[in-house]
């Protein structure tokens, strides 16, 4: 796995997705939906892939407490639209692929299927999706 600081590049990609604009085609959508559409349209694009990346779950329950969607969903969209990385799935897709391999090992799959070793692409980078809080009282220093 490469050790490279990719946070600034991803920060630029995400920050670029916060600039609101409007168009006539978006007239029936809410302000938040129009802003999100405009932000996603402005995601910078890479000319060539920098490698493969996987998104790891960070603070799994923290975002639920804030009634937010998981950050991994937005990160996936930003990464895919940017073209900067090839996204490799380590979530549900990986679990299903592992089950298929277990079925193949037990002789339960058809002969000639393309399930076996060497089918999983290695991730060059790992991105941990977490939510940063701006609440000054969360650090415990206000005792």
pTM over 0.75: no
Flag whether 53 is in a domain.
Answer: yes
Q: What is the pLDDT of residue 19?
A: 44
Domain count, the chain: 1
Average pLDDT per run of 10 along the chain, which is 143 residues long? Answer: 51 50 57 78 86 82 71 85 88 81 80 70 86 64 55
Give pLDDT, residue 22. Answer: 45
CA-wise closest residue to 55 among 24, 34, 80, 30: 80
The answer to the question of residue 138 being in a domain is no
Give the DSSP per-residue string, 68-96.
Answer: ---HHHHHHHHHHHH-SSEE---SHHHHH
Residue 78 located in a structural domain: yes
Enter the tokens of residue 141. 């220093």
Give which of 138, 131, 140 is closest to 62, Cα–Cα. Answer: 131
**114 found inside a domain:** yes
Query: In whole angstroms, what is the distance from residue 132 CA to residue 18 CA?
Result: 16
Place of tokens 């000054």: 136
Domain containing 85 equals 7-19+34-131
Q: What is the pLDDT of residue 51?
A: 94
| 56 to 3, 29, 34, 59, 88: CA distances (angstroms) | 16, 32, 29, 10, 11
Residue 70 placed within a domain? yes
Torsion sign (Cα): 133, 135, 136, 139: negative
Sign of CA dihedral 71, 35, 21, 133: negative
Q: Is residue 25 part of a domain?
A: no
Residue 115 lies in a domain: yes
């Amino acid at each position: 796995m490469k050790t490279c600081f990719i946070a600034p590049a991803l920060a630029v990609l995400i920050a670029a997705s916060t600039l609101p604009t409007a168009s006539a085609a978006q007239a029936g959508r809410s302000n938040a939906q129009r802003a999100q559409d405009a932000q996603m349209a402005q995601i910078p694009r890479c000319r060539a892939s920098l490698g493969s990346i996987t998104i790891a779950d960070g603070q799994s329950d923290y975002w639920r407490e804030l009634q937010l969607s998981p950050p991994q969903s937005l990160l996936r969209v930003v990464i895919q639209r940017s073209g900067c990385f090839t996204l490799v799935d380590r979530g549900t897709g990986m679990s299903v692929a592992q089950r298929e391999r277990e079925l193949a090992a037990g002789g339960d799959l058809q002969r000639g299927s393309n399930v076996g070793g060497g089918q999983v692409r290695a991730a060059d980078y790992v991105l941990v999706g977490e939510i940063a809080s701006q609440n000054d009282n969360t650090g415990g220093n206000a005792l």
